[in-house]
Amino acid sequence: MTEATGPVDVDGAQGVRVWDPLVRLFHWVTVLCFTGAFLFEKPRDLHEALGYTVAGALAIRVIWGFIGTRHARFGDFVPKPSTFFGYIGAALRGRERRYLGHNPAGGAMVVALMVMLATVTLTGWLQTTDAFWGVDWVEEVHEAAANLTLGLVCLHIAGVVLESLRHGENLVKAMITGVKRS
């Protein structure tokens, strides 16, 4: 990389730094920890440690959403309902525009995933407290929220694949390198 030409992605193409290291770290730590916690309810200590790691990462990411770099800020990607539905309509017609950061559907997904992760981690933590230990509804909400989160993750992956194909851009690679084509 030189200052004159800007960042270069792993294929040697010119690009723009979009996803900062904290956003990428949050993404991949959350992927690994949520997957691990979902797959391994036992041993309980491992499940809880993974859940607390997600909760901590989420807290940092929420703060970063207000003070972070341009594309990390909520103001850059949380869409108004009219923008979201306009984008979905354009996408269904195959006429959606490309965004350097999150598109409106991606931004809405980030918010939905963050809300669900907060629900999963909060209800998980509540189950460790004296007041909610063994309370059925807390466990049921925890399990339902985890399952809904998994459904959203599948939808997120499908959206990433679809957008990668439609715009000829490897969005997974961009979330690893932080660089997208300009």
Q: Is residue 7 part of a domain?
A: no
Q: Is residue 5 part of a domain?
A: no
Domain containing 151 equals: 16-180
Residue keyed to tokens 């103001």:
75
CATH of the domain at 63: 1.20.950.20
**For residue 110, which amino acid is it?**
V
Written as tens digits, the pLDDT of the chain (182 aa) is 433 345 544 555 678 999 999 999 999 999 999 999 999 999 999 999 999 999 999 999 999 999 999 999 999 999 999 999 999 999 999 999 999 999 999 999 999 999 999 999 999 999 999 998 989 999 999 999 999 999 999 999 999 999 999 999 999 999 999 999 88
Q: Where are the alpha helices (DSSP H) in the chain?
A: 21-39, 44-67, 74-77, 81-92, 104-126, 136-167, 171-177
> DSSP letter string over 29-79?
HHHHHHHHHHH---SHHHHHHHHHHHHHHHHHHHHHHHHS-GGGSHHHH--
Would residue 44 be called left, alpha or beta, if left means φ above 0 and alpha means ψ between -120 and 50 degrees? alpha
Q: How many domains does the chain have?
A: 1
